[in-house]
Structure 1
Amino acid sequence: MAVVAAVEALHYMKTNEKLMLSVQELIDCDTQNFGCRGGYSETALEYVQKHGLSSESTYPYMDRERILGCKKNKEVAAKISGFVKIMSPTEESLEEAVARQPVIVRLQCPKSFNDYKGGIIDWPPALPGEELFLHYVLIVSYDTDSNGVKFWRFKNSAGENWGEGGVGRLRRHVADKRGVLGIFMYPAMYPVLDS
């Protein structure tokens, strides 16, 4: 879902056209990932680069996995020419990228992440013995609150009832080089479209 949101954002930036793209297509057709059980953003971006993505209206979300297989004769609504991995895991390199466009990051989340209601998340990457799950989100901007606390604003795939209307905030510029929820433990990435 983070990959689809990133491609939608790029499409809007390039065309000024709002477009909802098909998550279901990635679930059904990107056989290098795991359908409804998730997968890797790099693999999903490779699929979009090779095949493009249909619109949500022509390939709607079914909330189930590969029941009918990959829909043939898809109408491509958006394409990318490639993607960029941010290989330097620093606050500054992510800030530089996010200043240009939304960026996909992978977080290490405790179960309590699902219950987040708002505020700036300042959790360490992992507590001893804590069960974590990997989760991709889309960093859409960064800012500083009225108390001077710097944060990342991210879009989550959990819907409008999660967090602050489907959006969350992570503290930035923390002492731990891994970042809050391990934001810098894996390369961040974003799609590109050659002009």
Structure 2
Amino acid sequence: MGSSILKQFVCCFLIIIISWEPQALSRMIPDVSMIERHEDWMSSYGRQYKDAAEKERRYNIFRANVNTATPLMYENVTSVPPSIDWRKKGAVTPIRDSTCGKSWTIPAVDAVEGLTKIKTGKLYTLSVQEILDCDGGGHNGCEGGFTDDAFQFIKQHGLTTESNYPSKGNVGTCDTKKEDEPVAKISGYENVPVDNENALMQAVANQPVAVIVDASGMDFQFYSSGVFTGDCGTALDHGVTLVGYGTSNGKLKYWLIKNSWGVDWGEDGYMRMQRDIAAKEGLCGIAMEAKYPTK
């Protein structure tokens, strides 16, 4: 009798294990397709990490962003205005004068400032210093980092104002009290399709967008006025913010770029860069890595 009961128990146990095992294994075995997507993303954007632990952390952030992303709003251009200037709509704060290599933070902050104005009607100059001081994730502060990290920090913590947490020109100790006083928050951020100036135009028609460009060339660095058509490559090294687009004299299409090199650079701190060139990456790689916050 006891043997019969034991056999029935073992049989039931095996049935449960067989029915449960595929789900368990699916949770235990890494998502190969997601790993491949991350490797492709790293290759596309030239991402390199200092060690395996850092790569794993970045992969987990990448996977979380993909899994929680809302449907991309700006994949296909439908109807957009022929020109837009978010400055005229009161959604752009004054030009910053970056005193250290923090251009990885500024475009994200600019974009969040614009989105906050669009959604709430209030324009705040937000704190870049808060990100430098309080983001503990693997960036190098004034020595550079990734725009993704800045957006990720803002998603998790929000941002207070620059007047509440002013710039210091270097990385300091996080003021946790001020960090706990955010005036702007986002739900996440999205990537604009790579190498697609039409999708980028659609995004900018809706809000300011953070982009990375190749700003290493002398033509870019010594730009003073007019529509920029100079020489530059696609080795992305500098973050800027797209705050509009238009056409000069009815002929030459351009992007309106907000830089962070002070008001003495370019057109009072801005650049008009040629738009819709033959190269899919756009001039200076402007269409290669563009992101916008969501709320």
Is 1:64 matched up with 2:170? yes
The equivalent of 2:255 in structure 1 is: 152
Larger radius of gyration: 2
Is 1:180 matched up with 2:283? yes
Alpha-carbon distance in structure 2 between the residues aligned to 1:15 and 1:159:
28
Q: Structure 2 vs 1, CA of residues 184 and 133 (structure 1 numbering), >3 Å: closer, same or farther? A: closer
Are the counterparts in 2 of residues 49 and 82 from structure 1 also a CA contact under 8 Å?
A: yes
Q: CA deviation at 1:95?
A: 0.7
Report the secondary structure of 1:139's partner residue: strand
Are the counterparts in 2 of residues 151 and 172 from structure 1 also a CA contact under 8 Å?
A: yes
The equivalent of 1:19 in structure 2 is: 124
Equivalent residue in structure 2 for 1:8, among 98, 108, 113: 113
Are the counterparts in 2 of residues 86 and 189 from structure 1 also a CA contact under 8 Å?
A: yes
Q: CA deviation at 1:96?
A: 0.7
The equivalent of 2:208 in structure 1 is: 102
Alpha-carbon distance in structure 1 between the residues aligned to 2:279 and 2:231:
8
Equivalent residue in structure 2 for 1:164, among 249, 267, 277: 267
Corresponding letter in the other structure for 1:39: G
Are the counterparts in 2 of residues 24 and 59 from structure 1 also a CA contact under 8 Å?
A: yes
Equivalent residue runs for 1:61-100 within 5 Å = 61-66=167-172, 69-73=173-177, 74=179, 75-100=181-206
Alpha-carbon distance in structure 2 between the residues aligned to 1:24 and 1:77:
15
Q: CA deviation at 1:107?
A: 0.2
Q: Deviations over 1:151-186 (max 9, x none)?
A: 000100112111101111110111111210011233
Q: CA deviation at 1:18?
A: 1.6
Report the secondary structure of 2:212's partner residue: strand
Report the secondary structure of 1:99's partner residue: helix
Q: Greater strand percent: which structure?
A: 1
Report the secondary structure of 2:119's partner residue: helix
Are the counterparts in 2 of residues 111 and 133 from structure 1 also a CA contact under 8 Å?
A: no
The equivalent of 1:121 in structure 2 is: 228
Corresponding letter in the other structure for 2:294: V
Is 1:189 matched up with 2:291? yes
Q: CA deviation at 1:65?
A: 1.6
Identity, in percent, stands at 39
Alpha-carbon distance in structure 2 between the residues aligned to 1:64 and 1:52:
21
Normalising by structure 1, report the TM-score.
Answer: 0.89
Are the counterparts in 1 of residues 195 and 282 from structure 2 also a CA contact under 8 Å?
A: no
Are the counterparts in 2 of residues 81 and 192 from structure 1 also a CA contact under 8 Å?
A: yes
Higher-RCO chain (CA-CA 8 Å, sequence separation at least 6) = 1
Alpha-carbon distance in structure 2 between the residues aligned to 1:39 and 1:116:
25
Q: Give aligned pairs, total.
A: 186
Q: CA deviation at 1:88?
A: 4.0
Q: Greater helix percent: which structure?
A: 2
Alpha-carbon distance in structure 2 between the residues aligned to 1:30 and 1:111:
30
Alpha-carbon distance in structure 1 between the residues aligned to 2:194 and 2:166:
37
